[in-house]
Amino acid sequence: MEIDYTLLRPDASRNDVVRHCATAAEKKYYAVCLFPSRVLLAREVLRGTGVKIVGVAGFPSGADEPDVKLRQAQIDADEIDYVVQLGAMRDSLDDPEARKLLRREARYLAQLGKPLKAILETGAFSVKELDKLLPFIVKEVGPLLTFLKTSTGFYLREGKVVGAELEKVELLRKHTQGTRLKIKASGGIRDRQTAEKFLQAGATRIGSSTAL
């Protein structure tokens, strides 16, 4: 099971990051996922362990301009998880300018030459909406990406955090069949039993802030 062990609490201290990385090394997780400001520390702690480092851009709202996301991603990370511009994603059904923005932010980040995961914040959309949006995302943005990712774990719907949902992962699998795109399920996955269900639904990477 490939796990990105996530620490994206704004109040996480240096010691929190060091302990987080030590746990990732001990459990042989695939990667740690951290804010850009903590990547250099993680690189120092994880040297020689084989654990990769994932940095985030546009986190958690996705509302930053593409050039801002690019600056955030210009760090010593092995992979980049960026939050798509959610308003533009919603608008992309009938607005060519919104589609240009989504392509541009992916193109900016892809020039770094690192595996790129687009966080779609699937909890912000109904299954019906996502079913309409994904053909464009997969066809026109997908070639620049390595993964489609479900969630930041910070999105609120009716006052409650909405993370990964099995039906949304199944929908992602449906739309990515026949492509090289992989799926990362993250947000609210706190035990191995739940993680296994998302793998069965189509995910190939799990993101979790809990040591599974």
Report how far residue 89's alpha carbon sits from residue 107's, in angstroms, rounded to the nearest whole number: 15
**Alpha carbon 9 to chain centroid, angstroms:** 15
Per the CB < 8 A criterion, the answer to whether 203 and 171 are in contact is no
Tell me whether residue 73 is exposed, middle or buried, using C-beta atoms within 10 angstroms of its C-beta: 0 to 12, 13 to 18, 19 or more.
Answer: buried
Task: Enumerate residues 6+ apart whose C-beta is below 8 A from 178.
Answer: none
Bond before 96 cis per omega within 30 degrees:
no
Which residues does the annotation mark as catalytic? 81, 149, 184
Q: Which two tokens stand for residue 210?
A: 């809990």
